[in-house]
Amino acid sequence: MTMQIVPVDASGIDNIASGLTGFSDAAEDELQQSMMTSLFIAGASQASNGRAAYLLLDDGSRTWVPNTLRCWLVDLKIVTQTYESYDPTDKLLIRVTASDGTSYVYRCGLNSWTASSFLTNLKHLTRTQLGDQVCITLVPKGRATFVQVQYCEQGAFHRVQIPESEFTGEKMTYDQCLDAISYVNGTSQDNEGSAVVEAQVTPEEQPFEVPEAELDELLDSIKTPTRARRKRSINCEVPVTQ
C-alpha cells in the first residue's frame, strides 16, 4: 500500500494522510464495508425496468434489485461522505436483515425525499412493530423515490398510517431526522406528547389499598399480644427468698 497525501491548503504545509497502513477512519471504513451490500437508491428508468435500487458490483456494474424487501430493521445511522471535488454530504444508512438472513444497507442522501419518506414511515411504528418484520417498498415518482413501509401483525402486513399533518410538502430538517433515528434505534423516548409513544405506554395499575375496617382489625391483632404480655408481667408474683 502506498501513502497518499491529500493537501489541505494551497501551499501544502498541512496534509491529511489517506490509506496509511495501521490507521483507520471509522466513517470511511464503515462506508467502504457497506459498499458491497449497499442498496443505492436512485430514480427508476427504462434501463432498470422500473426498479429504484441497485447493488454495485466489484467491476462497477449495477445489479438492479426488486423494489420490495421483507426484512427486520437493525439500526439507522448518519455518516458523512467526503469527496475530492465536492463538498461533504450526509448519508442515511438503514441496515436491515432480509428474511433469508442476508444483510443489506439502504443508502441515500440525508437531505432527500427518500430519507424523509423512510423516516416518516418508521417513526410511526410502535416498539413492537419495529421489533418484528417489516416490508419496505420503494416507489419511484419521476426523479425522486419515496418509501412505503408495512408492519406485520397477526400474520399479515399492514401499511403504516401516516397522519395528514405530516404531509407538509417539505423535507425533514436535520434535527427531525435525528429525533426519528433516535426513536427507531430505541435510544430516545422522552416526548410525552407523542401519540406514538403514548400508544406504547402500559397504563399504570391501580395502587394497592387496604380497606379502613380491615386496617383497624390488622392493627388490633398486632397490638393485642403485646398488651397481654404486659398484663401478665404486671400480675406475676416474684418469690422472695428468706
**pLDDT at residue 36 above 60?**
no
Which pLDDT tens digit goes with each residue over 9-26? 565 566 666 666 677 677
Question: Angle, to 10 degrees, between the axis of helix 174-185 and the axis of helix 113-122?
Answer: 40
- What's the mean per-residue pLDDT of the chain? 76
User: Residue 152 has what pLDDT?
Assistant: 92
CB neighbour list of residue 87: distance below 8 Å, 6 or more residues apart: none
Are 3 and 15 in contact by the 8 Å Cβ rule? The answer is no
Please state the domain extents for the chain. Answer: 11-185
Supply 228's cell numbers: 397481654
Q: Do 122 and 180 meet the contact criterion of CB atoms below 8 Å apart?
A: yes
Q: Using one digit for the tens of pLDDT, what is the confidence trace for 173-232?
A: 999 999 999 999 984 444 334 444 444 444 444 444 556 666 666 666 665 554 444 444
Cα 39 to Cα 233: distance, rounded to the nearest angstrom: 88
CB 44 within 8 A of CB 52: yes
Amino acid letter, 100: D
Question: Which pLDDT score, from 0 to 100, does residue 181 have?
Answer: 94
Cα(19)–Cα(117) distance, integer angstroms: 36
Judge if pTM exceeds 0.75: no
Instruction: With beta carbons less than 8 A apart as the criterion, state whether 71 and 133 touch.
Output: yes
